[in-house]
Amino acid sequence: MTQTDPVDLTAALVRCPSVTPEEGGALTVLQTLLENAGFACTRVDRGGVSNLFARWGDKGHARSFGFNGHTDVVPLGNPDDWSMPPFGAKIKDGMLYGRGSTDMKSGVAAFVAAAIDFVTDTPPDGAVILTITGDEEGDAIDGTVALLDWMAIEGEQMSVCLVGEPTCPDRMGEMMKIGRRGSMNAWFKVTGTQGHSAYPHRALNPMPAMARLMDVLASHELDRGTDHFDTSTLAVVTIDTGNSATNVIPAETRACINIRFNDIHTGEGLSYWLRDEAAKVDAAFGTRTDVKIKISGEAFLTPPGPLSDLIGKAVKAETGIAPELSTSGGTSDARFVKDHCPVVEFGLVGQTMHAVDERVAVDQVVQLKAIYARILKDYFAQ
C-alpha cells in the first residue's frame, strides 16, 4: 500500500503563501488529497477566512477522533533576512526551510498523512475528523470558532481532539500540553487637565496617577500557582504620553498590560479587579480612567486521564521519551476546542516558529506521523 509522505505534503503546504488570513492554496491542496482518500470535506469559510472540515466515517458515530490545526502563517518580516526562499520549501542538511514549516504546516501534514493511511489500511469502527483553519495566527474569530459553530449546527461531534501545535521545547517527545493559561490585554487612558509645568496647581497631571496604577497592578501577587499551572503573570507592556514639550503637563496618558492567568482566575474576575484598582487611583488623584479589556482566552485544563495517557503511551513508544504534562506557553485554538470535547496538544519541537529561516527537521516530521498513526490505532483498538 502506498503511504502518504508527510515531508512532501509539508513542502507542498509551505509553498502556499498563506500569510494570515490568506488561504494561499493550502486548504485546496488538503481538500483534494482528503477527498481522494474518501473523506467528506466541507469548506466552512466565514468572515473572509477559509476553513476546512473533513470526516471519514459515518456522521454522528458514537466514537470519533479529531485533529485540529492551522495552515495560516505569520508574516515573513524582512524577506532579505532569509537565507532560504520563505515559501521555497528547500531542504538543506536534513532541515526543510520555509514560513510555517514548524508552525504548523508540518503538524497538519503529519496528521493528514496519518489519518489517510490509517483509514485506508485499517478502516476503523468510528469516525476520523479533521478541522483545519486559516485564522489561528490572526484574530481567531472566524477560524476554529467558525468550524465549531458549524459543527454544532450540523450535528458533527469529536469525542476527543488532538491539536498538532509544536509543543516540545528542545527534544522530540518531551512535552504535551494538557491545558493553557488564559490571556487578556487591558488598555488604560488616564485623563487629567493640561497646563503649564511651571503652574502645576492649575493643571491635573495624569502621569502620577498612571504611574501609581501601573505600580499597583505590577506589584500585586496574583497567586502562587496551582498543581498544573505556574504563577499568573502581569506585564506592563507600554506607557505612552506622546508629549514632546518639557513645559506642558499633558491632558492624558495611556498604558497597556498583558495578563497570563491560571485556572484560579477568570477573565471576568480579573477585569473587575483592574477596573476597581483604576477607580481607587481616580479617587485618590481626581483623574478619570477609561479601561478597555480584551480576553483572548480563559485558562483551561484537561485533567490527566485517558486522553493524555493514550498520547503519552504513543509518544514514548515512538521516541523513547515519556512526555511531560504541561500548561506552559501562550494560547492556541485548544482554548476553543475545550468547550466541544476533551483536548490535548502534541507536536514538534518549536524552536524556530515565527523566526527568520523557520525550519523543521524532516526526520521529526516522519516521526510525528508515526506517533499520530499509533494514537489512531490505539484509540480505535480500545
Helical packing angle, 267-285 and 206-219, nearest 10°: 140
Alpha carbon dihedral 164, 170, 171, 174, in 10-degree steps, equals -70
Predicted pLDDT at 287: 98
Predicted pLDDT at 62: 87
- Considering the domain delimited by 6-180+299-381, tell me its CATH architecture: 3-Layer(aba) Sandwich (3.40)
pTM comes to 0.91
Alpha carbon dihedral 78, 79, 82, 85, in 10-degree steps, equals 160
Q: Which CATH number fits domain 182-297: 3.40.640.10, 3.40.718.10, 2.40.50.140, 3.30.70.360?
A: 3.30.70.360
Over residues 277-334, the pLDDT tens digits come to: 999 999 999 999 999 999 999 999 999 999 999 999 999 999 999 999 999 988 899 9
Predicted pLDDT at 331: 87
**Residues with Cβ within 8 Å of residue 283, at least 6 apart in sequence:** none
**Given this chain, do its domains 6-180+299-381 and 182-297 carry the same CATH topology?**
no
- Taking the C-alpha atoms of residue 339 and residue 309, their distance in angstroms, rounded to an integer, is 20
Predicted pLDDT at 176: 97
Residue 136 contacts residue 26 (beta carbons within 8 Å): no
Active-site positions read 72, 136
The phi, psi pair for 262, rounded to 5°, reads -90, -170
**Residues with Cβ within 8 Å of residue 205, at least 6 apart in sequence:** 192, 249, 250
Q: Which residues of the chain have pLDDT under 50?
A: none
Every domain of the chain and the residues it spans:
6-180+299-381, 182-297
Predicted pLDDT at 1: 57
Over residues 82-102, the pLDDT tens digits come to: 999 999 999 999 999 999 999
The phi, psi pair for 202, rounded to 5°, reads -95, 0
Residue 128 contacts residue 118 (beta carbons within 8 Å): yes
